[in-house]
Amino acid sequence: MIFNGFHVMENIMLIYCAVKVNGLVCKDPMQVQAEDFFFSGLHLRGNTSNPVGSRVTTVFAAQLPGLNTLGISMVRIDYAPWGQNPPHIHPRATEILTVLEGTLQVGFVTSNPDNRFITKVLKKGDVFVFPVGLVHFQHNVGNGYAVAIAALSSQNPGAITIANAVFGANPPIPGDILAKAFQVDKSVVEQLQSKF
């Protein structure tokens, strides 16, 4: 049955394949398979051998096409001992996180002008919410590995890691602008930029 340009099939409304939604081409409803709604791999530990000691495994519309337009996604986050998911934002999603293993210090900063730091230490089974668009982080405060699962209120939440965006921009943000913004010497900015 066709309704206003949409094809309704088994109570699922899908847009014809010629249309892009969220930058992804929707599949012809007659070609949809179970695999379009399936993802496997969240049981696998992510490689945390990197400077921040964490790995985020995403299940967004790019990895699971059936999520497109549904307004939800999820991630698995693995943390090495003392590793962190560094300060970042999701411009299009609120995040709800639950700890499956280990102990995490989590927190977010409210918006200007207050910039209040809200933080809590979470243990296995604890849940915490990060409101949309606010700078937030998770830090493993234990000697063992930690694992969390998070759900996000968008099929494409986006992620902007603050340090990467500010000090790793390409082309670089001019050092004098960052020096003034952070109220440090330009040489400090250049040192930070060299790490990204």
State how far the Cα of 168 lies from the Cα of 136, in Å rounded to an integer. Answer: 19
Residues comprising the chain, all counted: 196
Is residue 88 part of an annotated ligand binding site?
A: yes
Where b means 16+ CB within 10 Å and e means fewer, 19-58 reads eeeeebebbebeebeeeeeebeeeeeebebeeebbbbebb
Bridge-partner residues for 43, per DSSP?
none
Q: Is 35 annotated as a binding residue?
A: no
* Residue 73, beta-bridge partner list: 152
Number of neighbouring beta carbons within 10 Å of residue 119: 13
Nearest partner of 57 among 142, 147, 168, 136, judged by Cα: 147
Q: Is 43 annotated as a binding residue?
A: no
Per the CB < 8 A criterion, the answer to whether 111 and 134 are in contact is yes
Question: Residue 139, annotated ligand binder?
Answer: no
The DSSP code sequence of 116-162 is -EEEEEE-TT-EEEE-TT--EEEEE-SSS-EEEEEEESSSS---EEH
Q: Is 101 marked as binding a ligand?
A: no
| Residue set of the binding site for Mn(2+) | 88, 90, 95, 136
| Residue set of the binding site | 85, 88, 90, 95, 136
| Residue set of the binding site for oxalate | 85, 90, 95
